[in-house]
Structure 1
Amino acid sequence: MHKTKIYLIALLSLSLFRLEAIAQGAPPLETLQLTLQQALEYALENNVDAKNARLELLIAETTVKEELSKGLPQIDGSFNFNYNPAVPILFVPNEGPFGDPTIDADVVPLRLGVSYQSGLGVTASQMIFDGSFFVGLRASKTLRELTEYDRIKTENDVLLTVKKAYFGALVNKERIKLAESNLTRIDSLLDETKAIYEAGLAEKIDVSRIQVQRNNIYTQVERSRTAYEISKQLLKIQMGLPKEYDVLITETLAELNPEVKLNQLLTMEGMPRVEVNQLEKNLELVGLDLKNNTVQYMPSITFNANYQRSGASNDLSNVYDSRNWFSSSLLGVSMQIPIFDGFLKSARIQRNRIQQDQLKNQRLFLDDNISLEIYQARTNLKNDLNIMEVQRENMALAQEVYDISKIKYNEGVGSNLEVVDADAALIESEINYLGALYDGLISRVDLEKALGILKEGIND
């Protein structure tokens, strides 16, 4: 029931799209002829997920540069200009060297500064030793490698969905051909039966029975056409093809389902799976995080340098007079020595070790899952090949039964009901064969994924 609702909603959406295009006088879509190979190559370049995966790789490369910059000299320049409307005053006792007998008070006000001040300076620092820097640089490169594996995994997912969408569209295209062929056959039978009825050699119910069958087949043709349009829209979305284009599939199911290749898949050895590489890189990253937390027990050493020119005056016009400007500089080395952090680093190290154990467990589990996935995919493909052969034989038998029933009916020794039943059985056998052919293709794709050879034959 749920699938039926989804189908009806998709059908309604497609119908509204057509009506809107007609109402707006939209130009006809440009048709793009596609083979499976072309569809896959286009998807790798234009699918949204594939494009974002490549952009993510560029982000990872900037992360490497960001980490590398931490080990290069850090230089900053500064400029300041200050105006003191009221210069700060310091009070000192009115005695001793600061005493002023002309002031009738026990304190003397001294102005500390001038009205205008300005300065220029350059500050530089250079890391001499920091264990975290070297670990961080290695971690950023490992992250870049992990992002590359993520890109490959994303492209594999794109290939998987595009292949299945392509096969779905191809099956619906084949169903249209079969349905139209069946409609032609039943129309011919209907015309013959009407002629026999008009000659008084058949009953009205014979004509009605074939008319009912004809209406059912016509409905099947229309449903197949609608399903084909919907499946093409899905294929376009998976490929990243703009809606301004229509697609024309130029291959057949038989061309894409050679039994020789299917049988080769059953004995093929698997390639290393990208999921394993992803897990290995995650394990390496956790190891680097553990190392980073460990080296933070070591001191860090930094070289610092500063040069500054300062000037001041009570008169704005004399602030930048060279006589009022003076230089200062500083060179130094600083060392930070960690003493006690409340066991923070110790807790982080313990967490890293637990994370390593988790990833090692996942690694073993992943190996078992891949083996099971290959076994299931091979078993499903074997079963589908057997079913395909049975359905092919069944379709040939159904065709033979229909031909015999038609001959008997034409010679007057068979009934109209036998022909209608034989026609219905032939249609069912054709649909079942198409379904078996499609299942074989899907099982083939699943086995290619399990073996890690989805990109075989695809240009990078």
Structure 2
Amino acid sequence: MLSLSVSASCQAWEFDPLLANRHVPVTAAASMSGDESLRICVFGALPDPLPLEEAVERALCNNPKTRESWANVKIAAADVGAARGAYLPTVSGNWQGVRDDTRTDVIGHPEFSSNYRNSVLRTESVSLNWVLYDFGGRAAALANANSLLVAARASQQAALETAFAAVAKDYYAAQAAQGAYVASQEIEQTAHDSFRAATGRVDKGVAPISDELQAQTSWAEAVTNRTKANGDWQTALGTLDSDMDLDASTPVTLPVVGDGVKPDAEFLESVDELIQEAKRSHPSVLAAQAQLEAAAQKVKETRAEGLPSLSLVAKYSWNNQPTTLEVGIPQFPTNGREWYLGFQVTIPIFEGFTRTYQIHEAEAKTELQRDTLNEVEQQVGLDVWTSYQAVKTATDNLDNTAMQLDVASRSYEAAQRRYQVGVGNILELLNAQSSLAAAKRERIQSLTDWRSARLQLAAKLGRLGMSSITDELPLDAR
């Protein structure tokens, strides 16, 4: 992680005379948090247990997609600087040093022949060119660059939110797998208790051997499921390790799956309002809008490039080129100076109709960006609708699965007591045991679905950030 810290320092101190980089985040993930903890991207040992916030920070700092989008922001910022630089004059210097050996043989008149061998001849000059007016070409180019920078920053935010949602999903999947493994151990113990109860009744001669065999089969099945759950858990942890740029074998401990679940937020915003807000503020929509504005400015820039421009030009030069009065007369050392200051008008007269087709191309790209914006808005609206319904369903199912688990637990306890006193039968006990196992799995899944759904909705609304990792639904519902 040291290299990330060094690169961040270089980014902060690099030469930026036109202030083009002031909107570039100092790290790939800095824009997701308002504090400095995410800006350095330097981490120590994994905490025990690993909170979601640190898992997200590690993933965002090291995810290739977030770093690519960060690089695109820096590229766009550099283009803004170049567009601003077009308003400044250009100054160029030239120096030339040569050794001159000139020999002239006049046939038939050797008295006029000459052979001059000079020392180093120098020519030095400084030129200035300053475009004063160009019918809005530079202004359109700067507006285009600024729009592309806005688009790049919005695209980076969208990439961060996508990576955020992905690692959160993997984190919750690993947490659910961990919970499923713990539940499978409990289910195995329950099945073993049923087997022991059946064995005791068989030994006393009050139950047939089939009771013991059925209970033993159920226990063996629970052992198999526990082994599979452990494998699923380790696979999910490996995926989470990979998200954080760690070796898949790195040990990770996660909080209990039920920790922090407080689904007491109310949906005070209608889904229509959420959809309309997402169409206004989602990073992907903002990026598409900025791309459309950049395309429109590109049309203006292309047109302006075919119009006249007015420039201030100046030059000063000095040389020590020797001179001679006439053929056959020796050269004399001299110093020459020249300067000029004036205005230059450049008028494109004919470009082979290339300008016409370049304008057509720019206009077509503007139309393409407009259609892309409409497509993005439609997709954002559908994503919000789908995620909103998922959150509502997951929130309702938290209460449903809690009730299901409570009923299944009491049913199993009743069936177990009935079997032990000889009132119930083994099928009743095993059915209650199976229902309890299913209820535990459903409860774990509902907890995971609720957590994942609320962050997915935040991502679809464009509100996802480190502050979203709270006990409340990220709907700004007040």
- The TM-score normalised by the length of structure 2 is 0.75
Q: Distance in 1 between matches of 2:189 and 2:67?
A: 46
How far off is 1:307 after superposition?
3.4
2:63 to 29, 40, 47: 47
Structure 2 CA distance for aligned equivalents of residues 72 and 222 of structure 1:
71
Give 1:87's aligned residue: 102
The residue identity in structure 1 corresponding to 2:81 is K
CA distance in 2, matches of 1:251, 1:324: 93
| Equivalent residues of 1:262, 1:444 under 8 A apart | no
1:44 and 1:452 mapped to 2: Cα distance?
Answer: 16
Shift of 1:163: 1.6
Residue 442 of structure 1 deviates from its aligned partner by 3.2
Superposition deviation, residue 324 in structure 1: 3.4
Structure 1 residues 330 and 407, CA gap change in structure 2 (3 angstroms): same
Are 1:71 and 2:87 counterparts? yes
C-alpha separation in 2, matches of 1:157 and 1:309: 62
Give the AA of the match of 1:184: Q
* Aligned with residue 227 of structure 2, among 218, 222, 229: 222
Could you give the per-residue CA deviations for residues 377-427 of structure 1, whole angstroms, max 9, x where no partner exists?
223333344445444433333333322221121011222233223212221
User: What SS does the aligned partner of 2:180 have?
Assistant: helix
Match for residue 169 of structure 1?
Answer: 174
Report the secondary structure of 1:87's partner residue: strand
Deviation per CA, 1:416-447, whole angstroms, max 9, x where unpaired?
23322321222123223333333333332332
Residue 286 to residue 299, structure 1, CA distance change in 2 (3 Å): same
Tell me the CA shift for residue 220 of structure 1: 1.8
Q: Distance in 2 between matches of 1:438 and 1:268?
A: 26
Q: 1:408 to 1:429 in 2, by over 3 A?
A: same
SS class of match (1:249): coil
Alignment of 1:8-157 (within 5 A): 32-83=48-99, 87=102, 89=104, 100=109, 114=117, 116-129=119-132, 130=134, 131-157=136-162
For the aligned residues, what is the CA RMSD? 3.2
Structure 2, unaligned runs of 5 or more: 1-44, 323-331, 470-478
Distance 1:169 1:79, change over 3 A: same
- Determine the C-alpha separation between the residues in 1 that align with 2:366 and 2:72: 25
The range that moved more, 402-411 or 199-208, is 199-208
Distance 1:117 1:91, change over 3 A: farther
The residue aligned with 2:299 is 290
Between the aligned partners of 1:109 and 1:70, the Cα distance in structure 2 is 53
Equivalent pair of 2:238/2:249 in contact (CA under 8 Å): no
Between Structure 1 and Structure 2, the one with more helix by share is 1
- Kindly indicate whether the alpha-carbon contact (under 8 Å) linking 2:148 and 2:294 is maintained by their aligned counterparts in 1: yes
**For structure 1, which segment, 382-391 or 408-417, has the greater mean C-alpha deviation from structure 2 after superposition?**
382-391
Are positions 1:206 and 2:211 aligned together? Answer: yes
* 2:49 and 2:255 in contact (8 A); partners too: yes
Task: Flag the 1:344–1:40 CA change in 2: closer, same or farther, 3 A.
Answer: same
Deviation, 1:31, is 5.0
Q: Spell out the pairing of 1:344-383 with structure 2 (5 A cutoff).
A: 344-383=354-393
TM-score, with length taken from structure 1: 0.77
1:303 matched residue in structure 2? 312
* Cα distance in structure 2, aligned partners of 1:458 and 1:414: 50
Partner of 1:247: 252
Q: Distance in 2 between matches of 1:43 and 1:56?
A: 19
Give the partner amino acid of 1:297: G
Deviation at residue 338 of structure 1 after TM alignment: 0.5
C-alpha deviation, 1:312, in angstroms: 6.0
SS across alignment from 1:335 = strand
Cα pair distance change 1:154/1:30, threshold 3 Å: closer
Query: Following the alignment from structure 1 to structure 2, what is the Cα–Cα distance between the partners of residues 284 and 91?
Result: 71
Counterpart-to-counterpart distance in 1, 2:246 and 2:267: 33
Equivalent pairs counted in the alignment come to: 409
1:259 aligned partner, one-letter code: P
CA contact (8 A) 1:72 1:126 kept: no
Task: Specify the SS of the correspondent of 2:344.
Answer: strand
Shift in alpha-carbon separation, 1:348–1:379, aligned structure 2, 3 A: same
1: distance between equivalents of 2:258 and 2:147?
A: 43
The offset of 1:178, in angstroms, is: 0.9
The letter of the residue matching 1:121 is E
Q: Which has the larger radius of gyration?
A: 1
Contact 2:384 2:461 (C-alpha < 8 Å) held by counterparts:
yes
